[in-house]
Structure 1
Amino acid sequence: MSYWLALQFWVGREKYPMATRETDPTRNRVRRSKGLEILVVGAGAAGLAATRRLAASLKEINSSIRVLEASDKIGGRMFCEEIDGFRVYSGASVIHESFATTRDLARELGVELFQSPKKKGGQSYGGGRFWGLYVGGSLKQTLTTLHTMLFSPQHSLAGNWEFMRLFAILKKRAKDLDFEDHTRMLDLDTGDSFADFTRANSLGRYLKQAGELDLNCFTAGTSEQVGAAYGMALLWLWTINPATRSYLPRQGIAALVKALAEVCESFIQVSSPVKRIILEDGEVRGVAMATGEVIEADAVICATTATTAAQIIPELPQDVRTVLERVSYSSCCNLAFGLDENILADGSHAALFPPGSPTFLTMVTNLVALAPDAAPPGKTLVHAVVIGEHARALFALDDDDIVQRVIEEMRRFFPGMPQHPLFARVYRWPEALCLSPAGMLRDVHDMLRRLNGYARGLFLAGDYTRLPSLNGAMKSGIAAAEASLSYLDSMRRGRK
């Protein structure tokens, strides 16, 4: 019944032009500060969290900090831009209550959070029409939900019973299913996918009825691609447990990125792609830039995706590389449309299309229903999400063609969708969300414990190193920063 929550899981990016310290592409030189130097590769959520933690200890550590971001903006997957009074996200801006690290960071930065609306609604497509699902709504909406549960082709009594059985299974591990400390659920990461888990527990009807669609929306992947432990945590925390709450920053996720940017911007070089992190004799030496410049460093925090980490650290031992190369990501094409009027049903935050629906769309959301400040008064902001192979097919087109294709498809289901919206934006995510495939949580956890013995002074951060989420990225960045500070302190003591 909580499909609508899927749209809250998506994480956007904040767009901030940054002052840069230009590199000289005509010179191949080593840049070295007088003290110890820490480099952070990547200025997404993990990189910004790491930089903020390092900056807090700057006076104590007597070291310089430099952050190297390949793109021309900071924030990674927390991207947002303002268009004619619309706050346009590549995803939504909701923080789950179990994102303790993120909530603490927001509070420390003075970013106000408020609880998401208790009244929520969505629609699921089936049998040639939409079926309403509402929580905390009017009597009419409650009756609509009951009608959906009883008569929708997507639902069955057997599937509802399996949902209750899954609830009982997950409730027994409720204290362990947590975005803050993934180590308590490592025993659940047995090497099975979530699809394997449902087959082993005779939950196939539930998976077809709701679970598959929820995972499509949360991860842009499938139950076969997502590990059992990750799938259980996602579904328990975002849909199945009715007691969980989520929060939104007053000014959207942009407020959190802006606050981080104000702390970190003096350390950041944008448009500065790293070609290689240099390891010699099991110790980090610095980085080689795409320009040919070499920057020496005593510690490097690699806050990129696992894919990029494997590419730019070629000297890693094979067992470490094998783990990084096994991390997989989903693909997503997310379109935002500024509209004069809402095209979804009243009281509905999202329209969902289960697998097998006669469309390449996965979901269409009305962000204003959750975050009224996302659009000017009287206007609305609608997102259309396309995932998997359909997204990859769209990537081959230019933005104008993608917009036209998606508008035509939306008009099949939403008659109010105008041919010419106020504006349209296309966000391409070849690596959208970490899927945490079967066994990945355990493998990455074990790999990180071994890494210091292979590569002293190198620290990995990113959501793939925890339970994938915004919170996982933030927590990993802070942990990497603290580990690097400890490492540098040991270097100083060794020099005395």
Structure 2
Amino acid sequence: MTDIDIAVIGAGIAGLTTAYRLAGEGHRVEVFEAADEPGGRMRSARVDGYTIDCGAETIAPNGYPATWEFIRELGLERDGALHRIQHPVGLWREGRTHPWVGHPKSLLSGAGMSWRGRLQLVRMMAAGGRRSGRVDPDRPEDSPHGELTLAGYGARHGGELVDRCLGPVASAAFGWRPERSAVAPLLAIMQGTRGIYHWQTYRDGQDTMARALAERLKVHLSRPVTRVERDGRGARLAFADGTELTARAAVLTLPSPEVASVRPDLPEEERAFLEASTFSSMIRVAVMLDRPLEPRRSGSQPRLYAFVMAAGEDSLLSGGTVEHNKCSHRVPAGRGLVTLLVSPRRAREVYDLPDDQVLERALDESERFIDGLRAAYVGHRVIRWRHGLPEAPPAALALRKAFVSRAAQPVEYAGDWLYLRPSSEAAVASSALAVERVHAWLAGN
């Protein structure tokens, strides 16, 4: 006999979707979260009428099947919870922005690329349209690119494509350094979404789905788990308050680098992949403004909802999001909100600084791109994630197949790192894998 059927550790989007699937099948499922609110890296803060996302969330019309399944099942689309993003992403290069990064229009406008670079982009898209060139998002290790890094892909297929398109987007959105991360997971995203085109976001904050799921589940907030281990044919959880409980199975949804800290009995067959699955640190500086501002542009250029840095731009920042252009519902009327993203190459030098010092460094740097940001400042929020997004290193790619095909255990996992794709879609999709493995364990025990 156990206290509950299944324990889920972590009320991020991976944990909540896993719990929802299992509870829908009739299991007694309880979710345990250390923070005082659900959402994990997809939480949102609400300050004086501003909605500040603690991560970055966009939903593509293509390539996000698991996310759309939950959106429709929860009735979020019907309830008007989604907002269509109207403005493009721009590339900052040599003192100005070039709009339409990742959009089909970039083939005409260039988006900061020469005709040679645009030809490289066409070749990449054409290769993704062929079966031999496609990357299966569920099995990136089986792609024709093997363990090739993003930098290696640039050297082989076009440096300009990486320096002015793939690399800047990966740096700002994923916290990647091209020389450290495998290209296959990125290509799976690009091929699946078909570029940055007709994307949407949640009108009232990126935690919209997390809040909807948490309302339907038994979620224990401010309940940190300190230990998870196998207990005979089940699992035992220990909590920070000294209490324990048992479950027939447990699903751990921490970022991979944090798993070993709560698993004293971590099986050796799991350790290698977990240790190889490194994460990048992320710092976001949300700047609340008394008026809407945006990156410098010419009068003929469209407004941007985000901007990213071309390779070679020496900056503390990898880019930023113009939140009032992304979704005006998140900002008081007549005001503005800009999120500045610290470059993954520079995150270590400011990560442990006090918030006011991080803000000052970010504001100083932002004057290169956005005129008047300091003068319009009315408040800020510095958001730090020591383990922000999976880096998808080649070593993890090489070990992934063995990890996901190992025999089911009483302690299983969910999270974006299981697919080496830094996206909410990967986190949601991982819940199906976790449920499948929990079923396999329960059926055999």
| TM-score normalized by the length of structure 2 | 0.87
Maintained 8 Å contact 2:236/2:244: yes
> Compared with structure 1, are the counterparts of its residues 425 and 174 closer, same or farther at alpha carbon in structure 2 (3 Å cutoff)?
farther
Q: 2:374, 2:58 → 1: CA distance?
A: 28
Q: For 2:45, what is the secondary structure of its paired residue?
A: strand
From 185, 207, 215, the counterpart of 1:230: 185
Residue 222 of structure 2 aligns with which residue? 271
Distance 1:457 1:189, change over 3 A: farther
1:159 equivalent in structure 2: 117
State the partner residue of 2:425. Answer: 471
Q: Deviations over 1:441-480 (max 9, x none)?
A: 452232122142xxx3221111111252212211222432
Q: Contact 2:33/2:220 (CA < 8 Å) preserved in 1?
A: yes
Deviation at 1:427, TM superposition (A): 0.4
Q: In structure 2, what is the Cα distance between the partners aligned to 1:247 and 1:415?
A: 27
Question: Which residue is 1:73 aligned to?
Answer: 37
Query: Residues 227-266 of structure 1 correspond to what in structure 2 (within 5 A)?
Result: 227-238=182-193, 241=194, 245-264=198-217
Counterpart Cα distance in 2 of 1:405 and 1:91: 20
Q: Which amino acid aligns with 2:187?
A: M
**Shift of the alpha carbon at 1:260?**
0.8
Equivalent residue runs for 1:175-186 within 5 Å: 176-177=134-135, 179=137, 182-183=138-139, 186=142
Distance 1:114 1:73 in 2: 22
Shift of 1:231: 2.4
2:143 is paired with a residue whose SS is: helix
| Residues 343/145 of structure 1: CA separation in 2 closer, same or farther (3 Å cut) | farther
Distance 1:361 1:490 in 2: 51
- Cα distance, 1:359 vs. partner? 2.0
Task: Specify which of 426, 431, 452 is matched with residue 387 of structure 2.
Answer: 431
Q: Give 1:30-179 correspondences, 5 Å limit.
A: 33=3, 36-58=4-26, 61=27, 64-96=28-60, 97-112=62-77, 114=82, 116-117=84-85, 119-127=86-94, 129-134=95-100, 149=110, 155-173=113-131, 176-177=134-135, 179=137
- Gaps (5+ residues) in structure 2? none
In the TM superposition, residue 45 of structure 1 has moved relative to its aligned partner by 1.0
Instruction: State whether structure 2 residue 287 is matched by structure 1 residue 321.
Output: no
Q: For structure 1, which segment, 305-314 or 182-191, has the greater mean C-alpha deviation from structure 2 after superposition?
A: 182-191
**Cα distance in 2 for residues equivalent to 1:161 and 1:361:** 28
* Cα distance in 2 for residues equivalent to 1:437 and 1:489: 34
* AA matched with 1:461: A
Structure 2 equivalent of residue 494 of structure 1: none
Unpaired segments ≥5 residues, structure 1: 1-30, 492-496
- Matched AA of 1:168: A
Moved over 6 A (4+): none
- Greater Cα shift, 363-372 or 476-485: 476-485
Q: Deviations over 1:235-274 (max 9, x none)?
A: 3345xx359543333434232122112112xx22222222
The alpha-carbon deviation at position 190 of structure 1 amounts to: 1.6
- 1:145 shift after superposition: 9.5
Computing the radius of gyration from Cα coordinates, the structure with the larger value is 1
Residue aligning to 2:321:
365
In the TM superposition, what is the alpha-carbon distance from 1:365 to its structure 2 partner?
1.9
Helix, strand or coil for the counterpart of 1:396? coil
Distance 1:121 1:299, change over 3 A: closer
Task: Report the Cα offset of residue 433 of structure 1.
Answer: 0.9
Distance, in Å, in 2 between the alignment partners of 1:39 and 1:480 is 12
CA 1:385/1:38 → structure 2, altered by over 3 Å: closer, same or farther?
A: same
Structure 2 contact 134–143 (Cα < 8 Å) conserved: no
Residues 312 and 135 of structure 1: CA distance in aligned 2, closer, same or farther (over 3 Å):
closer
Letter of the 1:278 counterpart: E
Q: Give, as a single letter, the amino acid of the residue that structure 2 aligns with 1:488.
A: L
Aligned residues: 433
Q: CA deviation at 1:385?
A: 0.4
Normalising by structure 1, we get a TM-score of 0.79
Q: Which amino acid aligns with 1:206?
A: L
Structure 1 range deviating more: 323-332 or 187-196: 187-196
Q: Which residue of structure 2 lines up, in the alignment, with residue 27 of structure 1?
A: none
1:393 to 327, 345, 349: 349
Write the distance in 2 (CA, Å) between the matches of 1:285 and 1:204.
Answer: 49
Query: Per-residue deviation at 1:173?
Result: 4.1
**Superimposed CA distance per residue, residues 279-327 of structure 1 (whole angstroms, 9 cap, x where no aligned partner):** 256x443122233333222211111111122332232332310111000
Tell me how far apart the structure 1 counterparts of residues 241 and 224 of structure 2 sit (CA, whole Å).
8
The C-alpha deviation readout for 1:62-96, integer Å capped at 9, x for no partner, is xx332221222221111101112211112343212
- 1:304 matched to 2:254? The reply is yes
Matched AA of 1:269: H
Instruction: Give the aligned CA root-mean-square deviation in angstroms.
Output: 2.9
**In structure 2, what is the Cα distance between the partners aligned to 1:38 and 1:475?**
19
Q: Which moved more, 1:340-349 or 1:78-87?
A: 340-349
Considering fraction of residues, name the structure with more helix.
1
Hey, what does 1:213 align to over in structure 2? 168
Tell me which of 233, 243, 250 is aligned to 1:293: 243
Report whether the alignment pairs 1:378 with 2:334. Answer: yes
Partner Cα distance (1:81, 1:145) in 2: 38
* Residues 487 and 234 of structure 1: CA distance in aligned 2, closer, same or farther (over 3 Å): closer
**Alignment partner of 1:167: what SS?**
helix
CA distance in 2, matches of 1:351, 1:475: 28
Match of residue 149 from structure 2: 193
Overall identity of the aligned pairs, in %? 25
Distance 1:130 1:75, change over 3 A: same
> 1:209, 1:483 → 2: CA distance?
40
C-alpha contact (below 8 Å) 1:123/1:130 kept by paired residues:
no
Counterpart Cα distance in 2 of 1:214 and 1:478:
28
Distance verdict in 2 for CA 1:407–1:317, change over 3 Å: same
Question: 1:462 is matched with which residue?
Answer: 415
AA in 1 matched with 2:230: L
